[in-house]
Structure 1
Amino acid sequence: MTHVLITGATGLVGGHLLRMMVQEPRIIHITAATRRPLQDIPAKVSNPYDPQLTDALAQVTAPVDIVFCCLGTTRREAGSKEAFVHADYTLVVDTALTGQRLGASQMLVVSAMGANARSPFFYNRVKGEMEEALIAQQWPRLTIARPSMLLGDRENRRLNESLLAPLFGFLPGNWKSIDARDVARAMLNDALAPATQGVNILSSAKLREMAARQA
């Protein structure tokens, strides 16, 4: 039976993932560390929260088996490059370190298509640096999900995604937009599948394929 730590549970992918895990009998407890309190918390979920997410993570002491990190923002939403790096790099690494402190041997993280630490594009570069930092932690099992443009109802709509989503729906392969629910479904399936050691990178097309098999 599995104990899980998740950050990003109030976001698009993380929200779907949390609801799926609540219904998954193989997961017996979920610790969802958030900046603001969750509403209508199920019995199998504990919710340490603090406006400083790192402080919420510091409250967690119970052992966990698997860590999910679904944190992600944009430079526009974050307000500055520094704030974006804090949200999409520092807090992701803090989540991973917390998981290792609590004994987890497996981590799954939402990154982005195009993540590359040597990219000339700021967003992709930060995502790539985040991935490299997690790989350097030498997790026995690390899964990196790289979705294309996410579809779904966000609490705060992103203008670029609203404008471009129809176009991305017609693109082929990895470029085709993907429903956030499908990303969550694929990640949960990967987490509970028989162990594959090392680093596993799931492209957007692969995520869509995995989710379709579970539908």
Structure 2
Amino acid sequence: MTTVLIAGATGLVGGLALGLALADSRIGRVVALTRRPVETHTNLRNVVIDFSDLPADADWWKVDGVISALGTTRARTPSPDEYLAIDRDYPLAIAHLTRSQGATRFALVSSLGADPRSRFAYTRRKGELESELAALAFPSLTIVRPSALDGRRESARLDERLAVAVLKSLAPVLPSPWRPSSATAIAELLVEGAIAARPGIAVKTNADVGSCLT
């Protein structure tokens, strides 16, 4: 059966992906890399870890598929170096380590507008990460580029909630890519990408997946 590693399983999308993966009969084992413990499960190996110090020789890098749902915001992570590490360096390090151990599928939460040539730092970093992941030659790479995430967060800030509420109210007149993205639908795409994606690079946006992303 398929083994899947999930990085960022305590966040909104990562937590949803974890629940879906543990309930999926096609997955025999899930490795969750987290900063704090998650609820135990028979098929779960929870590794509480410092992402700045990933052990290269750990046996849990040997998996079939990988889901990267790591991410942060400027408000939560004011340090530019730490912000860059969480957004780009940690996912790339995990990709290198799992690919070296034979992982064949990688699924990433990126961002709407990701482009290594973007004039905006955030979308430029996301685009750089996508390009570097592509260079690792995973047989299957799934990249999901959501808009603002629509889902229940444990610690959502007021401005984040208001932004999503405004976008949801404007959804009928907004172009599809700019409508709020269902966190559950994104998690579903990631799980499929980690266990059953076709060979090649697949980029998913609101427009591409239609009803899967609100």
Q: Same fold (TM over 0.5)?
A: yes
Shift of 1:59: 6.4
Distance in structure 2 (CA, Å) of the matches to 1:59 and 1:151: 37
SS in 1 for 2:31: strand
SS in 1 for 2:63: coil
Match in the other structure for 2:140: 141
Query: Are 1:61 and 2:59 an aligned pair?
Result: yes
Query: Are 1:183 and 2:182 an aligned pair?
Result: no
SS in 1 for 2:147: coil
Distance in structure 2 (CA, Å) of the matches to 1:205 and 1:166: 20
Per-residue CA shift, 1:154-193, capped at 9, x if unaligned? 2221343212112222223111101211110122234443
Shift of 1:127: 0.9
Query: Are 1:173 and 2:176 an aligned pair?
Result: yes
SS in 2 for 1:47: strand
In structure 2, runs of 5+ residues without a counterpart are none
Question: Is the CA contact 1:117–1:126 (under 8 Å) kept in the aligned structure 2?
Answer: yes
Shift of 1:56: 5.2
Amino acid at match of 2:87: D
SS in 2 for 1:75: coil
Query: Are 1:13 and 2:13 an aligned pair?
Result: yes
Distance in structure 2 (CA, Å) of the matches to 1:86 and 1:106: 22
Amino acid at match of 1:188: V
Give the alignment's TM-score, normalised by structure 1: 0.89
Question: Is the CA contact 2:4–2:194 (under 8 Å) kept in the aligned structure 1?
Answer: no
Amino acid at match of 1:6: I
In structure 1, runs of 5+ residues without a counterpart are none
Distance in structure 2 (CA, Å) of the matches to 1:200 and 1:133: 15
Distance in structure 1 (CA, Å) of the matches to 2:5 and 2:141: 14
Question: Is the CA contact 1:37–1:49 (under 8 Å) kept in the aligned structure 2?
Answer: yes
Match in the other structure for 2:207: 205
Moved more, 183-192 or 40-49: 183-192
Match in the other structure for 1:83: 82
Shift of 1:116: 1.1
Distance in structure 2 (CA, Å) of the matches to 1:91 and 1:19: 22
Question: Is the CA contact 2:2–2:26 (under 8 Å) kept in the aligned structure 1?
Answer: yes
Per-residue CA shift, 1:97-118, capped at 9, x if unaligned? 1211321011000000011111
Per-residue CA shift, 1:189-213, capped at 9, x if unaligned? 34443x522211011233453469x
Distance in structure 2 (CA, Å) of the matches to 1:19 and 1:26: 14
SS in 1 for 2:28: strand
SS in 2 for 1:30: strand
Question: Is the CA contact 2:64–2:195 (under 8 Å) kept in the aligned structure 1?
Answer: no
Distance in structure 2 (CA, Å) of the matches to 1:162 and 1:94: 31
SS in 2 for 1:77: coil
Over aligned residues, Cα RMSD in angstroms?
1.9
Distance in structure 2 (CA, Å) of the matches to 1:211 and 1:172: 13
Shift of 1:34: 1.2
